Chains A and B, each alone.
Chain A
Amino acid sequence: MAPGRYRWGYIFFAAALVATALGLFRGEHLGVLDKAITLCLECLGLR
């Protein structure tokens, strides 16, 4: 078993995977795709 504080690494990792899966389930990756394929002039400092 992981000693001391490193146990938290496993716990955080598991929690983060759950959050990622939740995000995927909610379709957030489609929002990321939608944003990332559109030229964002503001993000480029061009407006």
Chain B
Amino acid sequence: MRGDRVGGNLGRRRRWTQWVATLVANAYIPGFYLGALYRGPLKAACIPVLNCYSCPGAIFSCPIGAAQNAVVRGYFPFYAVGFLAAVGAMVGRLPCGWLCPFGLFQDLIGGRADRRRRPLPRPVAWGKYAVLALLLPVAALPSGPLDIGYERFCTYLCPSGTLGGSIPLLIADPTLRTLIGPLLAWRVLLLAGVVVAGAAFFYRPFCRSLCPLGAGLGLMNRCSVLGIRTDPSACIDCGACARACPVNLDPVAGGTQNGECIRCLRCVGACEAGALEFGRHAMCAGGDCR
């Protein structure tokens, strides 16, 4: 009872939720064969997952792209940043574990999580915070002769855009294929090298090393209104939760508040003593829940 099988019903419920969220976020099916974007009013709404708004199926917007675009237009992105912060303050990185289409992709290509539980080197894990910190300042920089575009995370780094946007559009629209160049080659290399190859060795390599959305939500893990509550009095120190955690955290030792925790809730499913529960922290009796 390890890896993807941990938690039984909870694990299955999570996978179903991931699929439903992916299908809802990319519900404009005609876009995939027309090679056209959805242009309805829902696109004004951000969703707390990395799902490129240039994906032909996308019916909502990516807050990372929206925030960069606001800076390019010359104003601070209160809407995108506020929305992301509100989600983070409420549930922390729960959307990473349960809703993100690109997280689902990494879950699917990597196989069982327990075979990929290698710890990520700390400097690599800090990469996502560097990307988050530089996201808006770099978007504000003027464009140079060798530079194209301003939403530089989208242009140079985002593998979700390559997978969900570039590849489906290139398949659907032959005229776009004349624009294939070194930049797309770099992005495909990043997708294949970091995400696909990396997923064979590490659980969710992109989420843990480069994703600014996960970094932003993770900053709130420590104080989010809803989170994984631990009840030390019920814990039997069996270590099942720590063994189940795909990102090598120890939930009983405070790992659930760590920014690396994607709140997949495998630990909750693995705890047979009932010492872990997802819920509102304020409900902890006596205020001593960790």
Contact = CB atoms under 8 A, between A and B. Distances in A.
Contacts of B75: 26, 28
- Give the one of B78, B80, B170, B224 with max A CB within 10 A: B78
Given A44-B165, A47-B148, A12 B80 contact: no
Contacts of A21: 82
Contacts of A35: 53, 61, 65-66, 69
Nearest to A8: B223
Q: Is the interface of B mostly helix, strand, loop or mixed?
A: helix
A14 B54 CA distance: 31
Interface string B149-173: 1110011001001100110011000
Interface residues of B, number: 65
A43 B179 contact: no
Contacts, number: 174
Contact of A32 (B43, B158, B161, B180): B43
- Give the one of A7, A8, A28 with max B CB within 10 A: A28
Interface size class for chain A? 35 or more
B176 interface: yes
Nearest to A38: B37
Contacts of B37: 36-39
Interface of B: 37-39, 41, 43-46, 52-54, 58, 61, 65-66, 69-70, 73, 75, 77-86, 88-90, 148-151, 154-155, 158, 161-162, 165-166, 169-170, 176, 179-181, 183-184, 186-187, 220, 222-225, 227, 281-282, 284, 287-289
